Amino acid sequence: MALSEGNMRNDAAHSGTFLIFAAILICLLSPATRAIAQEALTSSISSASSATASSPTSATAVPTEQTGTGLFSRLPFKLTISVRGGYDDNVSNSNLGGKQGSGYTSGNVSATYEFGSPRTRLDLEAGVGATYYWDTIRTPGANNYDLNDYLSLSVVHKATPRLTLNATTYLSYQTEPDFAIAQGVNRRSGNYFFTSDKFGAVYLWSPRFSTATSYTLTALNYDDLAIGQFDDRFENTFGNEFRFLMWQTTTLVAEYRLQIVSYIHDSSRDSLSHYFLGGLDHTFNPRLTGSLRGGVQFVDYEQAGSQSSPYFDGSLNYVLGKQTSLGWTARYSIETSDVASNQSRKTFRTGLNGNYNFTPRIRGSVGIYYSHDDYQDFNPLGAPVPGFVEDSIDMSLSLRYSVTRYWGVEAGYNYTDVSSDDAFREYSRNRYWAGLNVTF
C-alpha cells in the first residue's frame, strides 16, 4: 500500500470526484435502463422489499415517496437541486482570539436511482455541492469555499436460495468534518477524501444456522500534508458472524473481526486489532428492530505496545409508516487517534437521527452526535506525552415546507461544540441557513 504522498492525495481526490460525476451522468443519460428498472420494480415490488430489508444500509430508510419531501413521480430516478444562504459564526473553528464569522451561499445537486428485480436490489445516490464564504477566511491555508461531493451505492443479490451477496460503498470528497462517519479530525482542516466499502456474503447452512462473512475497506486522505502526516491511512477489516435463529424474532450471534490499520506516511502508527464478540439481533415488532454486540478488543501497535478494552456497539431502528423514522447507535472501543502526539484513544460515541412528517407539506429532521474521547498516554523513545480528555457534540435541525409538488422552502440550524483538556482544540460553532429545494 505504499504510495507517494503527492500522487496519493491527487489521485484519491480526482478519482472520487470522477466517480461521482460519472454516476450522475449514468443516471441522467440512461432512459432505457430506467424504463427496464421501472418495469422490474412494478412486477416484483414484494421481492424488492424483501431484499431491501436484508440490506445493511436500509434498516432506517423510509421510501422517499412516503416522506412527503420529493418523489412526485413513479420513476425510480430523482433529481434534487438545493440553494441556500446562511451565516457561520466561527468558520475558522477557533476559540483563542481567532474566531471569525461569515455569511455564505451553498448549492447542491443530487441524483438517486433505484432498481429492483426478484433477485437484486440496487440503490444509488450521488451529489455535488459547494459552499462559498463571503468573507476572506483568515486561517492560514484555508479556502473561501468548501466542497461536498459524494457517491453512495448499495447492492443486494440473492445468488442462490442459500447464498446472498451484498455490497455497500460510500465515497466523499469534502471539507466539513463529518461526525456521523467518526473518521478524521473534528474541525475544518482542508479538503479530504474518505471511502468506506463493505462486501459481504451470507450463507444459510440450515433453517436456523447461517454465517455472514465480510470485508471492509476504509481510506482517509487529506490534501493538507500537515494533517495527513498523522491521519492518512487504510483500514482493512475482515469479519465473520456465526448466526443461530433462537426464536422467530431473535438471532444469537458470535463474531470475530481482524482489523489492519496502515498509515500512509508514518508506519510507526500502524496497528493490528482482534475483536471477540457476542450478541443478538432482535425484531421487537414490524416497526422496531435492534442489534447488540459486546466483547473484548485487543490492539497491537507498531510502536506503542499493546492494549485491550471492553467493546460494545448497539443500534435501534424505528419506522412508523409515513410519519416517523428514528435511528440510534452507540459504540465503545479503542479507536485510531486524530492527533500526532497520542497514538490511541478509548472512545464512547452515540448518535440519533430522525425524520417526522408533521403534515403532508411539512417535514422535520434532526441529527445529534456525541463522542467522549480519552486520549491515552504515549511514551515514544523515553519522552512521555500525557493523555487528555475531549468531548464533542454536533447537532442539526431542519424543516421543509412543500409549496408545490416539485419545490419547497427549507431552513435549518447546526451547532458544534468541542470541549477539551487542551484549550487549543476547543471551539464552538453556530450555523443558520435557509433556502429553496426543487425535486424532479
Q: Which of 95-104, 159-168, 210-219, 364-373 has the lowest mean pLDDT?
A: 95-104
The Cα 195–Cα 12 span in angstroms is 10
Amino acid 37: pLDDT: 36
Residues facing 257 on adjacent strands: 239, 275
- Contact yes or no for 100/90 (Cβ under 8 A): yes
The Cα 370–Cα 352 span in angstroms is 9
137 band by pLDDT with thresholds 50, 70 and 90: confident
Fold of 5-439: Porin (2.40.160)
pLDDT at 72 over 60: no
Amino acid 216: pLDDT: 97
pLDDT at 5 over 90: no
303 band by pLDDT with thresholds 50, 70 and 90: confident
382 band by pLDDT with thresholds 50, 70 and 90: low
What does DSSP assign to residue 71? Answer: -
- Contact yes or no for 365/70 (Cβ under 8 A): no
In DSSP notation, 364-414 reads EEEEEEEEEEEEPPB-GGG--B--EEEEEEEEEEEEEEESSSSEEEEEEEE
What does DSSP assign to residue 73? Answer: S
All three cell numbers of 208:
436456523
160 exposure class (CB count in 10 Å sphere: 0-12, 13-18, 19+): exposed
29 band by pLDDT with thresholds 50, 70 and 90: very low
Query: Length of the chain in residues, anyone?
Result: 440
In DSSP notation, 270-295 reads -EEEEEEEEEEEEEEETTEEEEEEEE
Domain ranges of the chain: 5-439
Q: 24-52 burial, b for 16+ CB within 10 Å, e for fewer?
A: beebeeeeeebeebbebbeebeebbeebb
Highest mean pLDDT among 91-95, 254-258, 401-405: 254-258
Per-residue pLDDT, averaged over 47-66, amounts to: 38
Q: Which of 142-146, 252-256, 286-290, 389-393 has the lowest mean pLDDT?
A: 142-146
381 band by pLDDT with thresholds 50, 70 and 90: low
417 exposure class (CB count in 10 Å sphere: 0-12, 13-18, 19+): middle
Contacts of 271 (CB under 8 A, 6+ apart): 259, 260, 261, 299, 300, 301, 302, 336, 344
- Contact yes or no for 80/411 (Cβ under 8 A): no
Number of H helices, E strands in the chain: 5, 18
Residue 110: CA count within 13 A, CB half-sphere: 22
The Cα 40–Cα 139 span in angstroms is 53
pLDDT at 204 over 50: yes
Residues facing 260 on adjacent strands: 236, 272
Side chain identity, residue 106: S
Amino acid 433: pLDDT: 97
| Phi, psi dihedral angles at 150 (to 5 degrees) | -155, 160
Mean pLDDT, the chain, integer: 83
The pTM assigned to this predicted structure is 0.79
Q: If you search the block for the grid coordinates 433556502, which residue do you land on? A: 435
The Cα 131–Cα 188 span in angstroms is 13
